[in-house]
Amino acid sequence: MTLLFLILSTFLPKSELADHEFYVGLTEVVYTEESETYQVTMKLFTDDLEKGVYLSSGDSIQLGSRFQHKKADSLIYDYITDKFQLSDSGKKPFELEFVGFETEFDVTWIYMESGGMKPSDSIGVYNEVLMEVYSDQTHIVNWIQNGITRTALLRRSKRYTKLEQ
| Max CA distance (Å), the chain | 56
Establish if 5 belongs to a structural domain: no
* Arithmetic mean of pLDDT, 30-53: 97
Q: Which domain holds residue 110?
A: 25-164
pLDDT digits (tens, 9 = 90+) for 78-104: 999 999 999 987 789 999 999 999 999
Establish if 104 belongs to a structural domain: yes
Contact status, residue 85 vs residue 93, Cβ threshold 8 Å: yes
User: What pTM did the predictor assign?
Assistant: 0.85
Establish if 13 belongs to a structural domain: no
Taking the C-alpha atoms of residue 153 and residue 75, their distance in angstroms, rounded to an integer, is: 26
40: how many CB neighbours lie within 10 A of its CB? 23
Establish if 72 belongs to a structural domain: yes
Query: Could you give the number of structural domains in the chain?
Result: 1
Of 115, 112, 18, nearest to 73 by C-alpha is: 112
72-83 vs 46-57: helix crossing angle, rounded to 10: 80
Predicted confidence (pLDDT) at residue 12 exceeds the cutoff of 80: no
pLDDT of residue 91: 85
pLDDT of residue 21: 76
pLDDT of residue 108: 98
Least confident of 13-27, 38-52, 89-103: 13-27
Taking the C-alpha atoms of residue 33 and residue 39, their distance in angstroms, rounded to an integer, is: 11
Taking the C-alpha atoms of residue 139 and residue 159, their distance in angstroms, rounded to an integer, is: 9
Taking the C-alpha atoms of residue 83 and residue 53, their distance in angstroms, rounded to an integer, is: 11
Establish if 133 belongs to a structural domain: yes
Which sign does the torsion angle of CA 57, 60, 64, 68 carry? negative
Taking the C-alpha atoms of residue 79 and residue 62, their distance in angstroms, rounded to an integer, is: 15
pLDDT of residue 51: 97
Establish if 3 belongs to a structural domain: no
pLDDT of residue 90: 78
Establish if 15 belongs to a structural domain: no
Local confidence band at 165 (pLDDT 50, 70, 90 cut-offs): confident
**Phi and psi for 134 in degrees, rounded to 5?**
-130, 125
More confident residue, 14 or 119: 119
Establish if 62 belongs to a structural domain: yes
